[in-house]
Structure 1
Amino acid sequence: MRIDLHTHSTASDGTDTPAALVRNAAAAGLDVVALTDHDTTRGHAEAVAALPEGLTLVTGAELSCRVGGISLHMLAYLFDPAEPALLAERELVRDDRVPRAQGMVAKLNALGVPVTWEQVRRIAGEGSVGRPHVATALVELGVVPTVDAAFTAEWLADGGRAHMAKHETDPFEAIRLVKAAGGVTVFAHPGASKRGRTVPEPVIAELAAAGLDGIEVDHMDHDPATRARLRGLARELGLLATGSSDYHGSRKTCLLGENVTDPEVYGEITRRATGAFPVPGTGGA
């Protein structure tokens, strides 16, 4: 059983539509895929409608959080998307993405980069605009060779010359909100040091005590030593250890199913969830 619990579609910053994503997941030999767009569940209905027979969809989102001045992402699975408090917080984060991206465009212009807001909006399409869309604009202009190359101190990384802060949820509050909506929480790529500062292990222990369910261990941004350290930390704190691709379509080099989650861990996630249930494919459109 092959299970990938972290993917993105055009509903946020991926390049596959939700329908294309589930079809590609089935073609990649996955049995279970989670759609976890940034701070939105807008792609879920399209993914469910197109879900191929033999593939199960886990609905979710990747929540933007910050603690102690450090950004982090919280994967939330199988929560009730209509629960008012969590919905309001997701909308607050999502609505702040537009002025933030516009601010990055202004900073880039001041640095002599001729990026435009119209260009960034075109790249984002119907998705929630974010840094990867601005990074893609830099690639189009030949400023950087790849999207990842834009996430440096020179450009868009936290604290970078063109970086702009946005509203981000306190992770302890995110855990509380997701739990109240019947969901399960997993700290995404906690050891991805190339993205910037990482959350210290004592804080991860505090998050575990507050109800965090798991940490993402097997991820493209974790080298073998980091994976071993995080797996040990998960055992020490009684957390689930997941593996995922963090697939973004052509925007990143990772492939669907590049890292996967143990079926027993997946089973525990579904047992803990009460807000929603995995959706089995019936051969959608």
Structure 2
Amino acid sequence: MVAIALLTLYAGYQILDELQIYSAMSSPVFAGLVSGLVMGDMKAGLMIGASVQLMVLGVGTFGGASKIDANSGTILATAFSVSSGMKPAAAVAAIAVPVASIMIQTDILARFANTFFAHRIDKMVDEYNYKGIERYFLAGALPWALSRMIPVGLALSFGGGFVTNVAHVLNTSWKWLGDGLTTAGAVLPAVGFAILLHYLPVKKHFAYLFLGFTFTMLFTTLFGSVQMLGTAMTEVTKKFTANFNGLSMLAMAFIAFAFAAIAYQQSTALHDSTGGGNGESGSAPKKNTNEEGEITDDEL
């Protein structure tokens, strides 16, 4: 019961954090971390959270549009994966994705409910009632929080037995389906990358794409071999305790920072050469546009 209460409270908080607080605690990977800590298996939580995070890399929303609730999906997927013994990759495909899609409906319901408080705030503005504005502004958080807390709490309270039975079937008589869901869950992060690449100026900066891919492969292979040597050394002597797991990602981070610094310097130099930063009078530099009318010189 304590775990259900904590996860339900976090489900309500994460949407408020996403809308107003902006502390990064509303990301799927953080939802996986919190859920994993509560359920006692942080590794499974991080695996599910990271997979869902990669899946929604290129997913965004504009204006009042609703998007899938990846955080609630991560919470339920982690909770049921740990409690029922379901593989994390299978939980992503079988639980996280469907739940995230279904939660769009509760998001829409929360938006509808908030119109009441919006109209009350308009009335308070006309009356110059600042206390009333603050009161109804804070009250508007209730529909948002409840839109996540109620479905997550109900699912955690009454869905455990159902998910346990499903996990048992997927691991026994329908193992072929369970293996398929596991494969699908492992592929979903690639979908997120594909969506992200669709919106990035890849054609303009394709050289960086190839360099990044090449460096990643080289460093992964290099430090993978170093890690194997380290594992062998631990068998020879117990005094060897070095950990090389994060070296490849650290190297890539430094390389990415170097490329970002170079691109920033080039952009700054171009901006200064056109007189954009020295306050000189005259006509503004002409913007470069592509065939579709998109401004392209605002990209680093």
TM-score (norm 2): 0.26
Find the structure with the greater CA-based Rg. Answer: 2
TM-score (norm 1): 0.27
Which structure carries more relative contact order (alpha carbon 8 Å, separation 6+)?
Answer: 1
